[in-house]
Amino acid sequence: MSDSTPRQPAGVDLSQLRVQENVDLRHLNTFHVAAQARYLVRVAGTDHLREVLRWCREEGLPFLLIGQGSNVLFKQDYPGLVIELQLLGREVVADNTEWVDVRVAAGEPWHGFVQYALKQHWYGLENLSLIPGTVGAAPVQNIGAYGVELKDFFVELEALEVASGVVQRFSAADCAFGYRQSFFKQAGKDRFVIVAVTLRLRKQQRLVLDYPGLRAALAGVAPDQLTAQQVSAAVCQLRRSKLPDPGQLGNAGSFFWNPHVSANEFAALRQRFPALPGFPDGAGFKIPAAWLIEQAGWKGFREGDVGVHRDHALVLVNYGAATGAQLVALAERIQASVVERFAIPLWPEVRIV
């Protein structure tokens, strides 16, 4: 037995902990790559969560939280406990004429909550329609789309500290949100389990239509007639036209972050590549990684069952039986060729496990 093989748990009744052994993770990652978890548990309450985390501590077992697995790639089997969070529920915790604060349990599906909010005439999340995943994972990378980010509506979250089992409250400042970034991806990674998120939604709509393509998609409707529901429908349609449905074709959305360069670097790159797109962002520019990858010749590439989607160069896909290792190898080839051509490093957005 190698040193990395976890010890057999001594004297613990796994069925009492509701832990399953040797579970196929294909249905728990949107890349649909085959990988086995040594253990898997579905957790629907915080007491159960504390119990399984204590068990991991006692056994020295690694653990991995998973919502819908729409931002993870399993490169190999997972030797510890995968914890599938299924905490459900939502409640209004504050309400006035202008806004409502809603506390949502971590296991609620994100898009389901967006639709629910729109039905209640609570506005703001319409641009974040159809993002896969759970509410609990949304703060981890401060999900964003079409000019809006989770942080724009964030009030606070509650997270259970793994070491102590104590639930702590985190303000927006504590979460240190950035572009696809937060405390929970950095110093807080694997130290806290987000159990609930409170969002402040408006009772009057204030539409955000700046993202290229969104206004054009809604051009048929007079701006003062537009509703948040129409914006949500347009966002869903745009997303469906560009991004493959993980139910049909394994993928995890954008595989890499869009790189940020200084204004000077951007000017120098533009001299060499006049068509290079860039969006002003703070002190510099954000460059679409999709453009870099397409220019490097990867769009539509396929080798065996791994590939780069034909409609979006930032989306790596599994055509069937690709392994996580094959997808990682493709990602590395793409990174190398983009560095060679543009001298710009690309960093994975997806968590490689």
Cβ closer to ligand EPU: 165 or 178?
178
98 catalytic? Reply is no
Taking residues 174 to 193 in sequence order and writing x for each that binds ligand FAD by CB under 6 A, - otherwise, the string is ----------x--------x
The amino acid sitting at 239 is: R
Q: In a 3-state reduction of DSSP, which class is residue 63? A: strand
**CA gap 320, 79 in Å, rounded:** 24
The dihedral over CA atoms of 176, 177, 178, 181, expressed in degrees to the nearest 10, equals 90
State the nearest-atom distance from the C-beta of 78 to ligand EPU, in Å: 22
Assess 140 for contact with ligand EPU (CB under 6 A): no
Block residue for tokens 């399984």: 52
349 catalytic? Reply is yes
- The closest alpha carbon to 176, from 168, 167, 165, 188, belongs to 188
Instruction: Give, in order, the Cα–Cα distances in Å from 272 to each of 25, 53, 267, 281, 333.
Output: 45, 53, 9, 21, 23
Assess 30 for contact with ligand FAD (CB under 6 A): yes
**Pair 243, 253: CB distance under 8 Å:** yes
Which helix (H) or strand (E) segment holds residue 316: the answer is strand 316-318
State the nearest-atom distance from the C-beta of 274 to ligand FAD, in Å: 29
In sequence order, which residues have a C-beta less than 8 Å from that of residue 189 and are 6 or more positions away? none
Of these, 26, 116, 288, 337, which contacts ligand EPU (CB under 6 A)? Answer: 288
**Pair 114, 70: CB distance under 8 Å:** no
Which one of ligand FAD, ligand EPU, none interacts with residue 90, CB within 5 to 8 A by kind? none
Stretch that binds ligand EPU, among 6-14, 89-97, 187-195, 283-291 (CB under 6 A): 283-291
Assess 234 for contact with ligand FAD (CB under 6 A): no
The amino acid sitting at 350 is: V
254 catalytic? Reply is yes
Of these, 140, 293, 314, 346, which contacts ligand FAD (CB under 6 A)? Answer: 140
Assess 79 for contact with ligand EPU (CB under 6 A): no
Assess 308 for contact with ligand FAD (CB under 6 A): no
Cβ closer to ligand FAD: 111 or 333?
111
Taking residues 243 to 272 in sequence order and writing x for each that binds ligand FAD by CB under 6 A, - otherwise, the string is x--x----xxx-------------------
Is residue 121 exposed (0-12), middle (13-18) or buried (19+ Cβ within 10 Å)?
middle
> Which residues make up the interface to ligand EPU (CB under 6 A)?
145-146, 211-212, 242, 253-254, 257-258, 277, 288, 290-291, 294, 299, 312-314, 349
